[in-house]
Homo-oligomer: A and B are copies of this chain.
Amino acid sequence: MARKASLSGYLELLPAERFAELHVLDTLREVFEAHGFSPLETRAVETVETLLQKGEIDQEIYAISRLQEEERSGREAKLALRFDNTVPFARYVTENAGHLAFPFRRYQIQKVWRGERPQAGRFREFSQADIDIVGDGALPFRCDVEIVVVMARALEALRIGDFTLRVNNRKLSEGFYRTIGLTNTPAALRVVDKLEKIGPLRVAEELRETAGASAEQAELALQLAQIRTSDCTFADKVRQLAGDRPADLLQQGLDELTELMSELNARVPGRAVADLSIARGLDYYTGTVVETVLHGHEDLGSICSGGRYESLASAGKRVFPGVGLSIGVTRLLSALISSGELASSRSVPTVVYVTLRSDDDWGPAQDVADQLRRRGISAEVALSAEKFGKQIKYADRRGIPYVWFTDELGRHEVKDIRSGSQESVDPSSWAPPTEDLTPQIIRKTEGL
C-alpha cells in the first residue's frame, strides 16, 4: 500500500498484498468449514426499512439510486448498501426459514459499506468475516461456547500474533445492577462500555448523572467492571460484591460465563479472559459478549466482536435466537500489511517463467508450460525473444522463482533465480519444492 488511495476511505491492494488477503480469507474459510459452517452470501442491497429496523443506528448508511431517474416510481422501496453482515443475514433467515435446517450455522465473508469520516484505519468499504449459529425458537448455550472456540481457532490459524478474547455476559452485568438496585441498566451498560476511553472517574460520574446511580451503586458497578480473571475465579469476586441475594439473572449470567470460561480454557488455553468491563453497550446482545485485542495492535480496537442475541430475527410468532462473532478483516489486514507484519513472497502466482530463444519458439514454449500447468505448476511464457538477461530480469522483478530454458536440440534446463543454481530437467516430471508452488506468506511475527 505504498500509493495513496485515490478516493479517501477506500482501500485497494496491490497484487502481492491481495495474495496475503486471499491467504487470510482461505484460512478463515477452511477453519469455518472444518467446524460445519456453511458458506453464504447475501445481496449488497437492502431496503432502508430493513437496515433501520434494529433501531439505534450509529452507522452512516449509503443509499443507492439510479443515475437516470426518469422512471422512478413512488412505490419502489428506498434501497441502501448493507453496513454489516448481521442485519442482512437476519432478513435472509426469515425469508428462507423453510429451506434451512435449524440450528443453522453459516459463515459469511463480504464487503460492507459505511459512510464514516475517513481517518487512519477506518474504511468506507471493508470486509467482515462472520460466523453465526441460529436456532428456531431456542438455541442451547453451548452454541455460544462453540462460536467463541471456532473464532479463537480461526485467529490462531491466521498466525498474526498473540491475541486475547475478552468475554463477558450481559445477564451478569444487568443482573448485578438489578441486585444492587441500579434499575436503568441500558444506560449503565452504555456508560461502563466507555471505561477504557474515559477512565473510572468519569464513568463513576456518568453513572450518577445519566444512569441514576447513587455514589455507592456507581462504586460497585465500577468495581464489577474492573474484574478480570483468566479462570473462573471472577464468579467469587462478583458474589462478594453482590452480597447475599443475587438476582436470578445474575446467577444465570455467572453460570453461563463460568461454563464459557471453563470450556475456553480447556479447548483454546490461554486465549480468553473474563473481562467484566465488556458491555457492547449500543448493540442488541442479551448474553455472551466478546471483544478481541491483538497484542501490539491495541490501537485497532476490537478485531473480533459479537455475542448472543435472543432475537436475531422474528417472523410473526416465530423467533430466531442467534450467537455470532465477526472479524473486521480489512482493518486487521491493512494494519498488518502497513506494519510489514504480513506480506507475500511474490506478486504473481507464476512459478516458472519459460523463456524464448527465438520468437518462433512461442508454440513449443507454451507446450512446455502446459506440461507444467497440468501438474499444478503455474507457468508463463515470455512474449518475445529478448536477450536472456532481460527475460530473467523481468521474471526476477515479479518474484517468479524459476526460469526455464530450452536449447536448439530440445534439451531443458531450469534455473532457480534466487540461488542461481541451474539443472537439466524434464518438463513432464520436474516439480519445484512445495513451498514454491504458491506465493509464500511472510510473517514478521513468526518466531517472536
Inter-subunit contact A34/B373 (CB<8 Å): yes
Query: In the complex, which residues of chain B have a beta carbon less than 8 angstroms from the beta carbon of A181?
Result: none
Residues from chain B with Cβ under 8 Å of A397 in the complex: 101
Residues 1 to 38 of chain A near chain B (Cβ within 8 Å): 2-3, 6-7, 10-15, 18-19, 22, 33-38
Bound form: Cα–Cα A91–B5 in Å? 12
Query: Contacts A101-B394, A267-B366; is A38 near B61 (CB within 8 Å)?
Result: no
- Contact A62/B60 with A43-B12, A366-B267 known, Cβ cut-off 8 Å: no
Highest count of chain B CB atoms <10 Å: which of A43, A96, A98, A99: A43
User: Is A340's CB within 8 Å of the partner chain B?
Assistant: no
Interface digits, A65-98 against B, CB 8 Å rule (1 contact, 0 not)? Answer: 1111000000001011100000000011001101
A117 to B66, CA, bound (A): 11
The answer to whether B378 touches A43 (Cβ under 8 A) is no
Q: Does A379 contact B (CB under 8 A)?
A: yes
Tell me, yes or no, whether A266 is within 8 Å of chain B by CB: yes
- B142 engages A362 (CB within 8 Å): yes
Interface status of A121 (Cβ within 8 A of chain B): no
Q: Which range holds the interface residue count of chain A?
A: 35 or more
A415 at the interface (CB under 8 A from B): no
Residues of B close to A298: CB separation below 8 A: none
Stretch at the interface among A170-178, A185-193, A342-350: A342-350
Contact of A7 among B41, B43, B347 (CB under 8 A): B43
**A444 on the interface (CB 8 Å rule)?**
no
- Establish whether residues A67 and B48, one from each chain, have CB atoms under 8 Å apart when the complex forms: yes
Instruction: Name the B residues within 8 Å of A34 (CB-CB).
Output: 349, 373, 376-379
When A380-B35, A397-B101 are in contact, do A60 and B64 touch as well, CB less than 8 Å?
no
User: Which residues of B lie under 8 Å from residue A106 when comparing CB positions?
Assistant: 15
B13 with A41: CB separation less than 8 A: yes
Chain B minimum-CB-distance residue to A43: B10
Whether a CB of chain B sits under 8 angstroms from the CB of A115 is: yes
What 8 A-B pairs are tightest by C-beta distance, nearest first? A36-B380, A33-B349, A15-B38, A61-B67, A36-B350, A66-B115, A10-B43, A34-B373
29 A-B pairs in the complex with CB atoms less than 8 angstroms apart: A3-B98, A7-B47, A12-B96, A13-B40, A14-B100, A15-B40, A15-B100, A18-B38, A33-B378, A34-B376, A35-B373, A36-B348, A36-B380, A38-B348, A38-B349, A43-B125, A45-B113, A60-B66, A60-B67, A60-B68, A62-B64, A63-B66, A64-B113, A66-B115, A68-B115, A101-B347, A140-B384, A266-B363, A267-B370
Other contacts beyond A62-B67, A142-B383: 17, CB < 8 A:
A3-B98, A10-B43, A11-B43, A18-B39, A18-B40, A18-B41, A35-B373, A36-B349, A36-B379, A43-B125, A44-B44, A44-B111, A44-B125, A45-B125, A101-B398, A266-B363, A267-B366
- Which residues from chain A sit less than 8 Å from chain B, CB to CB? 2-3, 6-7, 10-15, 18-19, 22, 33-45, 47-48, 60-68, 77, 79-81, 91-92, 95-96, 98-101, 103, 105-106, 111, 113, 115, 124-125, 140, 142-143, 263, 266-267, 347-350, 362-363, 366, 370, 373, 376-380, 383-384, 394, 397-398
